[in-house]
Amino acid sequence: MRNRISQMLDSAAVFRFHRQRIREYGAGSPGALGWNPVGQQIRFKTLAQIGDLSHCSVLDVGCGYADLYPFLKQRFTEVQYQGIEHMPELLEVAKARYADAAGITLQLGDFLKVPLPLSDYVLASGALSYRNRDPHFVPQAIERLYGSCRRALGFNLLDWAPAGGGPLAAFDPAEIVAFCETLSPNVVLLNDYWKGDFTVLMYR
């Protein structure tokens, strides 16, 4: 019961954070997701180094407005994109934007609870960067997402907590990589592209 209440409180904090940012920056903007627009594109570019995503299925967890979809479509051929998002306000904008787009599926749900499709690549941009009362939250999330990929998992985290960052949390890259190496034979750390941010790529 206590774990369930803690999960609800953590989710409520994330929802409040994004709803406040929607009021400040407007629905559909990178700012509503907590991103600097330039930083968002740099993070996408870094995640895309995971491999040639052409003719592959990509699962984007915590997809927000599905901004990763047009980024990938511009760079790779015939990407089959599936996004899953826990917050209805964000997913509604994504569905409106891409209602007639090809190669995209959008789903409402908590990626830690709903069944995940087995995909060639799983990407998580910002989805794991929140404070959580459960100290095992991030390792459990990484393990679950890695279990849903055929080829590789890529995710980014913060290594410092920004002022006024609300529920955003910082993580130690060395600790994260050490855990990932217990699951994957090939782990790559990228941490020279944007201040305070690092990306981990885990291959099969």
Per domain, the residue ranges of the chain are 2-203
Quick one: pLDDT band at residue 163, thresholds 50, 70, 90? low
pLDDT by residue (tens digit) across 62-99? 999 999 999 999 999 999 999 999 999 999 999 999 99
pLDDT at 46 over 80: yes
Residue range 178-191, pLDDT digits in tens: 999 999 999 999 99
Rounded distance, CA 8 to CA 86, Å?
A: 12
Q: What is the CATH number of domain 2-203?
A: 3.40.50.150
> Measured between alpha carbons, how far is 152 from 55 in angstroms, rounded to an integer?
15
Q: Which helix (H) or strand (E) holds 132?
A: none
Q: What percent of the chain has pLDDT over 90?
A: 71
pLDDT for the residue numbered 20: 79
Local confidence band at 1 (pLDDT 50, 70, 90 cut-offs): very low
Phi and psi for 120 in degrees, rounded to 5?
A: -60, -50
Q: How confident is the model at residue 155 (pLDDT cuts 50, 70, 90)?
A: very high
pTM: 0.90
Give the strands of the sheet with 149-158, arranged side by side: 104-108, 80-85, 57-61, 119-125, 149-158, 197-203, 186-190
| Closest by Cα among 199, 201, 196, 198 to 181 | 201
**Residue 8 pLDDT level (bands cut at 50, 70, 90):** low
